[in-house]
Structure 1
Amino acid sequence: MRNIKLVLAYDGTGYAGWQRQLGQPTIQQVVEEAIARLTQAPVILHGAGRTDAGVHAQGMTANFQTDSSIPLSGLVKGLNSMLPEAIRVLDAEKVAHDFHARYNATGKVYEYAFMATEIMPPCQRLFAAQVRAPFMCDAVRLCLPMVVGTHDFSSFEASGSRDLT
């Protein structure tokens, strides 16, 4: 049994987030189904975190266990040929049996982009929020140090959660 770590990138626009949800398309579900088709065995894909509906990722780490002997390069090529264009496997790596993407995550980076404009360029709408002028850029700059850095978000987690925040 191999434990495989994947690095994923995705455009979450058409998805109800990372985590499997009944009757809604999710990143986890789509990738699990592609892995199952490729390896011919059901899998559970563990993500380093969960993104909300419409959220994109550029380096989401996930892992799954498999008896498949498909070479790692074949996994990447095979999965990318099966996945929709909005989801890509950037890398695959065999990792220790006890590796778990969620519990071994050492950090997460969140990036928020805003465009201060009256007219939003169509190609930017997926990657930035429109802020109509006048935008108080100096006031925002003064507040940024309060949100940049490492913070304890444990008050936002579900009761009994094992996540490190």
Structure 2
Amino acid sequence: MRIALGVEYDGTAFCGWQTQPGGGSVQDALEAALAKIAGQPVGVVCAGRTDAGVHATGQVVHFDAPVVRPLTAWVRGVNTFLPEAVSLRWAQPVADDFHARFSAFGRRYRYLLLNRPERPGVGHGRVGWDYHPLDLERMQQAAAQLVGEHDFSAFRAAGCQAKTPVKLMREASVYRLGELIVFEFEASAFLHHMVRNLVGSLVYIGQGREAVGWMSELLAMKDRRVAAPTFSAAGLYLVGVRYEAHWGLPEPATSMPIELEGALPR
């Protein structure tokens, strides 16, 4: 039986999602915990690989269960063997042709940026930080230029393995919650480091270092070398993956998790 899982994790202590020879990844931790319940090795496939230090509240994975277990065993049972920074939210049987990555038609990322003179304390590792006063309206106007189908080569990491840099951006918005500036991006798919590179360039515009129209110029130039540096991984969250309704998966909970609401400065 193929089973899909909803996963959340604090990526601070992990070397990223993807399995590593020496362990230390979120995938390594999850597969080890699943093996405890299955009694044999289990491999998982995720909707979107995240880098070291990147978090997720809405990651989706699938695996082929080698044994029959109640769904509660694939959630509460597996959680017993997971590190505290990783938790399964739900498990759902799916058709054999479901694929966590290739069946998805959209992914949503959120970037949390602390904008104040002092660096984060409680939010260390969970928010990015910029001490310059940022002009929200300028960043909002620049973000609006990202919506639609574009070649995002200017925001693509050198080692990106995506077949094409052309992606459909369905939403790109920026808003403020007290001392936090929140960046929301939803697209058909994302390139490696794309969100962190977008945030870096939007911050440059918010600082007044570049004009609002610079974002459109970067899209047209398709040259990673002329855009801003890659921003910190600390504030990046994969908050939702979207699938067609016929797969029967829970809708992604893209609102701010209550644990973040209470821990982060407002």
TM over 0.5: yes
**Is the 8 Å Cα contact of residues 7 and 88 (structure 2) preserved in structure 1?**
yes
Higher-strand-fraction structure:
2
Query: Counterpart of 1:42?
Result: 41
Q: CA 1:100–1:137 in 2, change beyond 3 Å: closer, same or farther?
A: same
1:141: how far off?
2.4
Query: Counterpart of 2:60?
Result: 61
Q: Which amino acid in 1 is paired with 2:70?
A: P
Give the whole-Å Cα distance in 1 for the aligned partners of 2:63 and 2:150: 29
How many corresponding residue pairs? 162
Q: CA 1:19–1:130 in 2, change beyond 3 Å: closer, same or farther?
A: same
Query: Counterpart of 2:134?
Result: 135
1:150: how far off?
6.0
Correspondence for 1:158 among 161, 185, 188: 161
Per-residue CA deviation, residues 19-69 of structure 1 (Å, 9 max, x unaligned), is: 112224111111011101111111110001100110000110100001211
**Is the 8 Å Cα contact of residues 37 and 78 (structure 2) preserved in structure 1?**
yes
Per-residue CA deviation, residues 63-84 of structure 1 (Å, 9 max, x unaligned), is: 0001211100121111111101
Q: Which amino acid in 2 is paired with 1:142?
A: Q
**Is the 8 Å Cα contact of residues 15 and 24 (structure 1) preserved in structure 2?**
no
1:10 aligns with 2:9: yes
Give the whole-Å Cα distance in 1 for the aligned partners of 2:121 and 2:149: 33
1:121: how far off?
3.9
1:152: how far off?
5.3
Mean Cα deviation higher: 39-48 or 128-137: 128-137
Query: Counterpart of 2:112?
Result: 113
Query: Counterpart of 1:146?
Result: 145
Give the whole-Å Cα distance in 2 for the aligned partners of 1:67 and 1:25: 24
Query: Counterpart of 2:225?
Result: none
Q: Which amino acid in 2 is paired with 1:65?
A: D
Query: Counterpart of 1:72?
Result: 71
Unaligned runs of 5+ in 1: none
Give the whole-Å Cα distance in 2 for the aligned partners of 1:123 and 1:98: 43
1:19 aligned counterpart, secondary structure: coil
1:116: how far off?
1.3
1:148: how far off?
4.8
Give me the CA root mean square deviation.
Answer: 2.2
2:108 aligned counterpart, secondary structure: coil
Give the fraction of aligned pairs with identical amino acids, expressed as a percent: 36
Query: Counterpart of 1:95?
Result: 94
1:137: how far off?
2.9
Q: TM-score, normalised by structure 2?
A: 0.56
Q: CA 1:123–1:21 in 2, change beyond 3 Å: closer, same or farther?
A: same
Q: CA 1:149–1:77 in 2, change beyond 3 Å: closer, same or farther?
A: farther
Per-residue CA deviation, residues 116-163 of structure 1 (Å, 9 max, x unaligned), is: 1112342223332111133233322221212356655589542658xx
Query: Counterpart of 1:26?
Result: 25
Q: CA 1:69–1:50 in 2, change beyond 3 Å: closer, same or farther?
A: same
Query: Counterpart of 1:104?
Result: 103
**Is the 8 Å Cα contact of residues 120 and 129 (structure 2) preserved in structure 1?**
no
Give the whole-Å Cα distance in 1 for the aligned partners of 2:147 and 2:114: 19
**Is the 8 Å Cα contact of residues 46 and 64 (structure 1) preserved in structure 2?**
yes
Mean Cα deviation higher: 85-94 or 141-150: 141-150
